[in-house]
Amino acid sequence: MNRLRDHDTVVVTLPHGQYLVPASFTARILAVEGMTVALEVERKAETARLTRDVANAFLTFRHGDSLVGFRGTLHAVEPVGDFRFVVSDQAATRSRSTRINCMTRVAVRRLSGDEPGEEVQGVSVNIASGGLLIEAAGTDAVTGDLIEFRLTHPDDRESIVAGEATVVRHGEGLVAVAVTDDSVDAHAALAALVVARSRAALHRDDAPEAGDSP
């Protein structure tokens, strides 16, 4: 999984013996979270007749001089043309999470210990669906502590992403936290933010340069 890179092109091949059109299609990687790959199809019309969930699909991509493939299940999601490919291969044990550089306000409060700490204002440094790196020099949270966080959504200042997380590293005014499994809404909101920012970067890279022919 560590060989998958954001915005790379992959080929998704569908299983034989089913009435599925097309037999394969190309897509770009928006983000990776654990064993799940968020994809945007290059030609959305090609996948209009696919069923919502397709088991035993195959995702293939080039890595250096090698051609690598993972087997898994393809899930259609919104918006049209987006899919999630969940890798099922036992050999694909290494996982990674797409992180975006994003600076926005984050309030942090330590929950563990005899008494909760005071809320401290900080800023995010980078964001993944399952974790944050936060600059919050005033926090008393250390590695192993449970914290509560309230993040101002960078694309909607009226929206707050709130949840709980465990401090996995700290030092020099920075705390790296992993969002707890119980904070389902926070996971979903952060994942949506990562995909949205990655999609924007993908299409910014695709835009023609000034002076190019239309």
Q: What is the CATH number of the domain that holds 64?
A: 2.30.110
What pLDDT shows up at residue 5? 87
What pLDDT shows up at residue 93? 55
Which residues have C-beta within 8 Å of that of residue 204, sequence separation ≥ 6? none
168 and 115, same domain (yes or no): yes
What pLDDT shows up at residue 145? 93
For tokens 């949270």, the residue is 141
What pLDDT shows up at residue 148? 97
What pLDDT shows up at residue 49? 80
166 and 111, same domain (yes or no): yes
112 and 168, same domain (yes or no): yes
* Structural domain range at position 188: 100-199
CA torsion through residues 51, 54, 57, 60, sign: positive
Q: Tell me, yes or no, whether 29 lies in a domain.
A: yes
106 and 173, same domain (yes or no): yes
123 and 81, same domain (yes or no): no
What pLDDT shows up at residue 211? 53
In sequence order, what E strands does 79-187 have?
A: 82-87, 96-97, 100-101, 105-110, 120-128, 131-135, 146-152, 160-171, 174-179
The Cα-based distances of 38 to 27, 71, 125, 166 in angstroms read 10, 15, 23, 25
What pLDDT shows up at residue 212? 52
What pLDDT shows up at residue 21? 66
What pLDDT shows up at residue 194? 96
Amino acid at 119: E
- Helix (H) / strand (E) containing 36: strand 36-41
Pairing of strands 96-97, 24-34: antiparallel
Q: Tell me, yes or no, whether 212 lies in a domain.
A: no
Per-residue pLDDT of the chain in tens (214 residues, 90 and over written 9): 777 889 999 999 888 755 566 678 999 999 999 889 999 999 888 888 888 899 989 898 887 777 788 889 999 999 989 999 999 876 555 567 899 999 999 999 999 988 899 999 999 999 999 999 999 988 999 989 999 999 999 999 899 999 999 999 998 889 999 999 999 999 999 999 999 999 999 998 665 655 555 4
Q: How many domains does the chain have?
A: 2
What pLDDT shows up at residue 62? 81
What pLDDT shows up at residue 154? 94
